């Protein structure tokens, strides 16, 4: 299991080091099994620790939307675009999850209405904090020069299998939500 919590941010078990080596050698592809992970999140207006396995007990699938970092126009646009389709995702028992290399605390500030340049709203879905960059490395979306995640999408079914993934070539290109929703529709429990 990949574990990322504030008190353990710099400490990883031997199993996690092994997983990191495996993922660094192999880019996740379709039907690749994603190991369970736990990390801090800003969700339902509070800081929480979420795990992939717990989420997939409730939903048929999850959609991981990696984005560069909070307090950017592209982050605001991506989150608002996902938010527009939230009800459609819920109708399909799919939970959209936004993830960046920011901490959950930064996500909370980003959602605050009192901070200029922020989102000024709390999304209905989790914002995961990947401060150790383990998850971004596992999905091979970490931009080594900046330490930020590259914009990308992974649809993961209840068996922890990647069913669909893509990475927009242009940072301003909106996600093709109709395609993502179509892929989610094809996943059955």
Q: What is residue 33's DSSP assignment?
A: B
CATH of the domain at 170: 3.40.30.10
> 155: which 2 tokens?
């649809």
Tell me the whole-structure pTM to 2 decimals: 0.84
Q: Centre a 10 Å sphere on the Cβ of residue 133 and count the other Cβ atoms it contains.
A: 17
Give pLDDT < 70 ranges for the chain.
1-29, 188-189
Please tell me the distance from the alpha carbon of residue 37 to that of residue 44, in angstroms, as a whole number: 20
- Crossing angle of helices 177-185 and 73-84, in 10° steps, is 50
Please tell me the distance from the alpha carbon of residue 76 to that of residue 118, in angstroms, as a whole number: 8
- Give tens-digit pLDDT for 38-86: 999 999 999 999 999 999 999 999 999 999 999 999 999 999 999 999 9
Q: How many domains does the chain have?
A: 1
Q: Which of 157, 118, 150, 119 is nearest to 135 (CA)?
A: 150
Domain residue limits at 47: 2-185
């Amino acid at each position: 299991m990949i574990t990322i919590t504030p008190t353990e941010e710099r400490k990883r078990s031997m199993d996690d080091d092994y997983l990191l080596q495996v993922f660094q050698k192999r880019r996740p592809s379709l039907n690749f099994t994603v190991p369970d992970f736990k990390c801090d999140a800003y969700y339902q207006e509070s800081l929480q620790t979420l795990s992939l396995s717990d989420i997939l007990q409730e939903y048929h699938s999850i959609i991981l939307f990696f984005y560069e970092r909070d307090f950017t126009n592209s982050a605001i646009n991506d989150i608002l675009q996902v938010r527009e389709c939230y009800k459609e995702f819920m109708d399909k028992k799919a939970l959209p999850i936004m993830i960046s290399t920011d901490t959950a605390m930064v996500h909370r500030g980003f959602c605050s209405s009192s901070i200029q340049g922020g989102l000024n709203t709390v999304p209905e879905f989790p914002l995961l904090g990947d401060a150790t960059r383990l998850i971004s490395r596992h999905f091979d979306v970490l931009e080594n020069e900046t330490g930020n995640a590259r914009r990308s999408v992974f649809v993961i079914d209840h068996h922890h299998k990647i069913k669909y993934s893509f990475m927009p070539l242009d940072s301003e290109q909106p996600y093709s939500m109709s395609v993502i929703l179509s892929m989610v529709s094809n996943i059955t429990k």
